[in-house]
Amino acid sequence: MRIYPKTLLTLGITFLCLFILLAVATDQIIGNSYGSLEEDDLAKNVERAQNAIWAQALTADMTAASFAVWDDTFYFLQGYDDSYVERNIVPEGLASMQINMMLFYDTSNELFYGMEADLNTYEEKEISNSLLEYIGSNELLFSHPTSDDFITGILNSPEGPLLISSWPITKTSGDGPIVGTLVVVKNLDSPWIENLEEVTQLDLNLGAFSETNHSSGISTAPSTLAETGDLNITYLSETSIMGSSILSDINGNPALVLDVVMPRDIYQHGRSSTEFMMYALLIIGVVFGIVLTFSIERSVLSRLTLLSRNLTAITDSKSISSRLEISGNDELHDLSVTINDMLQVLENEVKVRETLNLLESSLESINAGVMVVDRDSRLIMNDKFINMWNINVELISQNDASKVLEYIASQTDITEGTTELLEELENCSNGFSMTLNVNNKAVYDWYVGPLNQNENIVGTIYCVNDITNIKEAERSLILAKVAAETANRAKSDFLTNMSHELRTPLNSIIGFSDLMIGGSVGELADMQKKFLGNISTSGKHLLSIINNVLDISKIEAGKMELNCEPFGISGAIDEVKKLVSPLADEKELTIEFVMDEQLENICADRVKFKQIMFNLANNAIKFTPKGGKVTISALRFQNKVQFTVTDTGIGISEENKSKLFLPFTQLDSNINRLYEGTGLGLSLAKQFVEMHDGKIWFESELGKGTSFTFELPLKTETVVDAKRPI
């Protein structure tokens, strides 16, 4: 058969087979894809419904935790606070927290007090005895080995499913014994399901594990659902699909079945897309077949004949200097170019061989492992390359680069594609580097690139250096950096948490002390007032320290923000003056304020500005002996403002100047130990100044005094990012 009818017959059979294959593949791919998308969407909705349920559980858990870890609850359960229930446990309060019941049990697991509220009428309800017996019989709710051990989850009670949270009752500080258990209960009833459907915008049903689980009457066998895992999919019809998931109770047993029903919009889109693709493939196939047949006849068959005649002429003449002349911009033209390149290679082969011989003799002088591979996969390597890879004589004698690379790959983290890599490198114009691990013992740095001669690639060069020691040093530095960053984050988190936990009871101590001093609880003796005054003063001092610690931890955690606003400099300094003047008067110090008349307003965080000024002034007063002098000045310098606090105090030695702005650091000298403080004031001042894009510095002479100066940009209007985190 001639090439023309053979081509047409081949094209016809090919198009028919291709259409059938594409039709089947399209139906499978699109159907499977949309089916997977539908199942994924259903799984996400089921997970969303589960997350909404557990979010409710978290709310109940937070409520139980706030009441259980509370001194008032602790003393109530011990019979010391008769007004606790009237103040805290009322139906309106339970309804506002969306909690149905709060049950207080003593250490004998006996009910001490309980209340159930109607969430609609805000009235107290009588708690069912059977429900109390059911809850009281569940030992897991009352098992609290430690004060921070709690239980949260689902219970499928005889009166319906419950969302329950159990916490041990302890003091706020965590000290002392566990005096009982607080159980918070939320009913998973129909109104709750309807509210959950409204929140999630899903069609939901929540039933007991052994019951029918969907309102449509189509159910999933619980035993099958338990065996198949967390999600079971039921195709209800062509238009709807249901996903079912088991919710376990606090004992780990299957308790409830959650059904989520959704329309099959994705499935319907998939069916429409499949039909459209079928028609499109048929039309495209017919049109493409006609055009391809015409194009092959004009652009391929006639040109193949011309190529055949030219090759025959070159073969007959036996001249490798001849070249093919095939015009165009297609594969036949590329083939003619390739053939011409092959002829050119044959002409250059002698020159290439001479170059390789010269290269082989030069490689031994290079202080690295080097292997050169020519286009025929023949290789040249120096002794260092052989020794680095322990290449035996037998492998070298085969003179096959592919086998050498396969042997090298077996000792490194390259496991496949060695031959393809070599073929690609033979045609590349730019080299590249890579790092290889050798038997998990050494690390080699490779450079791989083309070997050029007269702008032609004649081979590939591999250059290897042993960088094992360098990599080990890098790994050690990275591990040390990670460890340091982890420790710093842990420290910041600890300081933040501890500061928050300490401030609440400390504010109570200060508040109650001030109330007692003010006579709110009756007349006090002078000695009692003195002691209470000491408690209040010490508490306020400790609160100031805690606030400084919290500021430091916020800065280190990147959570500190600036609230910039325009304000008068003189007014802010007057406020600082009112704070520090009593301190100066107490030590009989002279305090002087110098204000530049050209200064009016500045745009900055007013609170942090006053804190900077107060910290510097307080330090100056603290370290200045009686009879000394402290000067606070504000001067304009170009487009900036310089604030200076100068004292005639004890000064700073040279060896301590480098530690001055470090947090939690006090200068280690016998004189400085006489003064209280945490070493946070100057560190905070420096951080706040730098947050304002300013700078701070100091000058000091031991025994003669110290001068602190900080400089802020003089901006009188707020900018867009006035509140920016650090």
| One domain for residues 388 and 416 | yes
Residue type, 281: L
Cα(542)–Cα(607) distance, integer angstroms: 20
Contact 73, 169 (CB under 8 A): yes
Which is nearest to 74 in space by CA: 185, 167, 153? 167
**Residue 342 in tokens:** 């092959």
Greatest alpha-carbon span in the chain: 130
Supply the pLDDT for residue 718: 52
Whether residue 674 lies inside any domain: the answer is yes
Same domain, 111 and 214: no
pLDDT tens-place string over residues 366-398:
777 888 887 776 778 888 888 877 788 788 777
Q: What is the pLDDT of residue 445?
A: 74
pLDDT band at 430 (very low <50, low <70, confident <90, very high): low
Residue 158 CB-half CA count within 13 A: 9
Return d(Cα 557, Cα 204) in angstroms, integer.
Answer: 42
Judged against a pLDDT cut of 80, whether residue 257 lies above it is answered with: yes
Look at residue 220 and tell me whether its pLDDT is greater than 60: no
Q: Give the least confident one: 285-294, 407-416, 529-538.
A: 407-416
In this structure, the answer to whether residues 170 and 234 fall within a common structural domain is no
Per-residue pLDDT, 629: 92
Q: Which two tokens stand for residue 207?
A: 């039933």
Quote the domain boundaries for residue 595.
Answer: 560-713
CATH number at residue 418: 3.30.450.20
Whether residues 89 and 231 fall in one domain: no
pLDDT at 279: 81
For residue 356, what pLDDT is reported?
A: 61
Let me know: does 634 contact 596? Beta carbons within 8 Å. yes
For 16-30, 112-126, 173-187, 498-512, which range has the lowest pLDDT when averaged over its residues? 498-512
517-545: average pLDDT = 73
| Residue closest to 327 by CA, chosen among 337, 317, 319 | 337
Whether residue 684 has pLDDT greater than 50:
yes
Per-residue model confidence (pLDDT) at position 677: 52
pLDDT (mean) for 235-243:
86
Clarify whether residues 447 and 413 are in a common domain: yes
Q: What are φ and ψ of residue 231, in 5° steps?
A: -135, 130
- Give the SS3 label for residue 672: helix
Q: Do residues 86 and 153 both lie within one domain?
A: yes
pLDDT at 21 over 60: yes
For the cut 50, the answer to whether the pLDDT of residue 212 exceeds it is: no
For residue 311, tell me if it sits in a domain.
no
pLDDT computed for residue 221 by the predictor: 41
The amino acid present at 655, given as its one-letter code, is: E
The reported pLDDT for the residue numbered 492 is: 66
| Ranges 127-136, 532-541, 560-569: which has the least confidence | 532-541
Task: Say how many C-beta atoms besides its own lie within 10 A of residue 451's C-beta.
Answer: 21
132 and 212 both lie in a single domain: no
Q: Reduced to 3 states, what is the DSSP secondary structure of residue 646?
A: strand
Q: Are residues 515 and 402 in the same domain?
A: no
- Beta pairing partners, 593: 632
3-state SS assignment for residue 699:
strand
Mean pLDDT of the 111-117 span = 90
Q: Which of 179-183, 667-671, 696-700 is predicted least confidently?
A: 667-671
Residue 645 CB neighbour total at 10 angstroms: 26
The radius of gyration computed from the CA coordinates of the chain, to the nearest angstrom, equals 42
The tokens describing 411, both together, are: 């000792």
At 257, which helix (H) or strand (E)?
A: strand 254-263
Torsions phi, psi for 724 (to 5 deg): -125, 135
**What value does the mean pLDDT of the chain take?**
78
Instruction: Tell me phi and psi for residue 660, to 5 degrees.
Output: -65, -40
Asked if residue 33 is part of any domain, the answer here is no
Task: Grade residue 707 by pLDDT with cuts at 50, 70 and 90.
Answer: very high
Is residue 508 domain-shared with residue 444, that is, in the same domain? no
Q: By C-alpha distance, which of 547, 553, 564 is closest to 693?
A: 564
Q: Mean pLDDT across the stretch 49-70?
A: 86
Mean pLDDT lowest among 233-242, 319-328, 362-371: 319-328
165 shares its domain with 105: yes
Evaluate if residue 30 carries a pLDDT over 80.
no
Same domain as 566, residue 428? no
Residue 1 covered by a domain:
no
Q: Which range is least confidently modeled, 40-54, 172-186, 224-238, 455-469? A: 224-238
- Spatial CA neighbour of 94 closest among 123, 65, 55, 57: 123
Which of residues 163 and 715 earns the better pLDDT score? 163
Return the pLDDT at 648.
92
Q: Which of 555, 570, 592 is the last residue of a domain?
A: 555
- CATH number of the domain residue 657 falls in: 3.30.565.10
Total count of residues recorded for the chain: 726
**In the prediction, which pLDDT does 103 show?**
92
Q: Which 3-state string (H, E, C) describes 168-189?
A: EEECCCCCCCCCEEEEEEEECC
* Least confident segment among 222-236, 247-261, 501-515: 222-236
Strand 379-381, strand 601-605: pairing: unpaired
Specify whether 424 is located in the same domain as 482. Answer: no
∠ Cα 284 288 292 (to 5°): 175
| Structure tokens belonging to residue 21 | 């294959």
Report the sign of the C-alpha dihedral through residues 332, 336, 339, 344, in that order: negative
User: Which residue from 290, 312, 292 is spatially nearest to 300, judged by alpha carbons?
Assistant: 292
The amino acid at residue 720 is V
CATH of the domain at 511: 1.10.287.130
Amino acid letter at 436?
L
pLDDT confidence band for 350 (50 / 70 / 90)? very low
The more confident residue out of 381 and 501 is: 381
Residues 6+ apart with CB under 8 A from 648: 624, 628, 629, 630, 704, 705
- The answer to whether residue 298 is domain-embedded is no
> Of the ranges 47-56, 213-222, 602-611, 697-706, which one carries the lowest mean pLDDT score?
213-222
Apex CA 629: angle with CA 623 and CA 635, to 5°? 105
pLDDT of residue 721: 43
pLDDT band with cut points at 50, 70 and 90 for residue 1: low
Residue 571 in this model has a pLDDT that exceeds 70? yes
365 located within any domain: yes
Confidence band for 557, pLDDT divided at 50, 70 and 90: low
Residue 356 and residue 380: Cα distance in Å, rounded? 8
Last residue of a domain, one of 156, 187, 218: 187
Best CA proximity match to 124, nearest among 99, 92, 83, 157: 92
Mean pLDDT (whole number) for 89-98:
86
- When pLDDT is averaged across residues 474-485 and rounded to a whole number, the result is 81
What is the distance between the alpha carbons of residues 454 and 461, in angstroms, rounded to a whole number?
16
**Contact status, residue 385 vs residue 379, Cβ threshold 8 Å:** no
Please list the helix, strand and coil fractions of the chain in percent, rounded to the nearest 5, in that order. 50, 20, 30
Please tell me the distance from the alpha carbon of residue 168 to that of residue 181, in angstroms, as a whole number: 5
Q: What one-character-per-residue DSSP string does 463-504 give?
A: EEEE-HHHHHHHHHHHHHHHHHHHHHHHHHHHHHHHHHHHHH
Q: How far apart are CA 533 and CA 517, in angstroms?
A: 7
pLDDT at 487 over 60: yes
Residue 662 domain-assigned (yes or no): yes
In a domain, 52, yes or no: no
The number of domains in the chain is: 5
Give yes or no for a contact between 152 and 56, defined as CB atoms under 8 angstroms apart.
Answer: no
pLDDT winner (highest mean) among 301-310, 479-488, 594-603: 594-603
Q: Which two tokens stand for residue 261?
A: 């029903």
CA nearest 141: which of 175, 87, 101? 101
Tell me which residue of 659, 670, 664, 668 sits closest to 698, measured CA to CA: 659
Pick from 215-224, 608-617, 696-705: least confident = 215-224
Q: Which amino acid is residue 318, in one-letter code?
A: K
Nearest by Cα to 184 from 150, 230, 211? 150
Share of the chain above pLDDT 70, in %: 80
Spatial CA neighbour of 632 closest among 615, 651, 656: 615
Decide: helix, strand or coil at residue 588. Answer: coil
Is a pLDDT exceeding 50 seen at residue 541?
yes
Report, as an integer, the average pLDDT of 671-675. 49
- The alpha carbon of 306 is separated from its chain's Cα centroid by a whole number of angstroms, namely 65
Only one residue has tokens 């900077």, namely 612
pLDDT band at 104 (very low <50, low <70, confident <90, very high): very high
**Is the distance from CB of 566 to CB of 713 less than 8 angstroms?**
no
CB distance 153 to 161 below 8 Å: no
In the chain, % of residues over pLDDT 90: 6
Domain termination site, one of 123, 152, 187: 187
Question: Which is more confidently placed, 426 or 587?
Answer: 587
Kind plus residue range of the DSSP H or E element containing 444: strand 442-453
pLDDT at 93: 86
